Amino acid sequence: MNKIPSALNLGMRRGVLEVKQFSRQRESVVFTLLFPVILMAIFGSVFKSQQLPEGVTFSQYFIAGMIASGLVNTGFQSLAITIPMERDVGGLKRLRGTPMPASSYFIGKAILISVSMIVQIALLFGFGVLFFSVNMPTGASKWLTFTWLILLGSACSTAIGIAFSVVPKSGRGASAVVSPIVIILQFFSGVFFVFTDLPAWMQQVAAIFPLKWLTQGMRSVFLPDAWQKQEVAQSWENGRTFTILIIWLVIGVFFSVRKFKWDRD
């Protein structure tokens, strides 16, 4: 008897297909990949003269928040909107009827999110360095932190996005359910404003969710260590960030595996 291909092998094939499909959807490519750059341009220009402590420019502060919220937009937001749309048109049910396992579908999505994150980060770096004098991270340990934040952040955001895809009842309504959550989280998590300037209750709400920790982690990569004094805990708290992202990843994977819906009814 012939062997059916492994889940990992099919996951890679799904990933290639997902990237191919995504790259042909011009509107979503432009929106997903250029939106952070556009936000960077707007906020960077508006707050150009704003002086932050420790000689940090607003753009330098902002790029940390943009990369962190890029992880949430690209993973959580896009999956929680596009998966219900795929479900609406019967694409998921058809996949369910094949020997392809759910894990391959999830791996494919994770690959798509990672590829689109890499492109997005490259664009943000290029744009930030060229037009807003953003300084790149220096030193191996900063890059190491950056790398695990991106990997763990992408995985976490993908898993929660897949898990959350059961919440919107239809693809058409998905955006209305998902987008406000992301925008509110961005305001609460210190993406657009300096986190410690926010009211305490907002800070406490934000601390439950991953975006606050991703943003804080990214600050540890892009801002000088002297900035730690400005943080709520007067520390980068990267260990805690790691733990909280792992907890959310486990929650996301658990619900993705247990509750994923292939069929609209």
Partner 1 sequence: MNVIEVKGLKKSYGQVHAVRGVDLSIPAGEIFALLGPNGAGKTTTVEILEGFRSRDAGEVSVLGFDPKVQGHGGRQWRDRIGIVLQSAADAGDLTVIETVDHFSGYYSKPRKPDEVLAAVGLEEKSGALIRNLSGGQRRRLDVALGIIGSPELLFLDEPTTGFDPEARRAFWALIQQLRGDGTSILLTTHYLDEAEALADRVAVINDGLIIEVSTPAELGGRATSQAVVSWRDGNQIKTEATDNPTSVVTRLNAHFGGEIPELTVTRPSLEDIYLTMIGGVHE
> Which residues of the chain form contacts with partner 1 (CB under 8 A)?
1-5, 10, 13, 17, 20-21, 24-25, 86, 89-94, 96-101, 263
User: Nearest approach, Cβ of 16 to partner 1 (angstroms)?
Assistant: 9
Which residue number, 4 or 144, has a Cβ lying nearer to partner 1? 4
Cβ closest to partner 1, residue 125 vs residue 262: 262
Identify which of residues 22 and 127 has a Cβ nearer to partner 1 in the complex. Answer: 22
Tokens representing 46?
A: 């508006």
Residue 111 vs residues 9, 54, 159, 229: alpha-carbon distances, Å: 12, 38, 12, 37
Report which of 99, 100, 97 is spatially closest to residue 18, judged by C-alpha positions. 100
Q: Give the three-state DSSP class for 57.
A: strand
- The minimum distance between CB 33 and partner 1, in angstroms, equals 16
- Minimum distance of partner 1 from residue 24's CB (angstroms): 4
Per-residue tokens: 264 = 């609209």
Minimum Å gap between C-beta 89 and partner 1 is 4
For residue 261, give the nearest of 193, 168, 122, 181 by alpha carbon: 168
Closest to partner 1 by CB, 116 or 215: 116
What span, in angstroms and rounded, lies between the C-alpha atoms of 173 and 87?
13
Quick one: 85 or 194, whose CB is closer to partner 1? 85
Give the number of other CB atoms < 10 A from CB of residue 3: 5
For the bound state, the minimum distance from the C-beta of residue 47 to partner 1, rounded and expressed in Å, comes to 38
Instruction: Determine contact, residues 210/248, Cβ cutoff 8 Å.
Output: yes
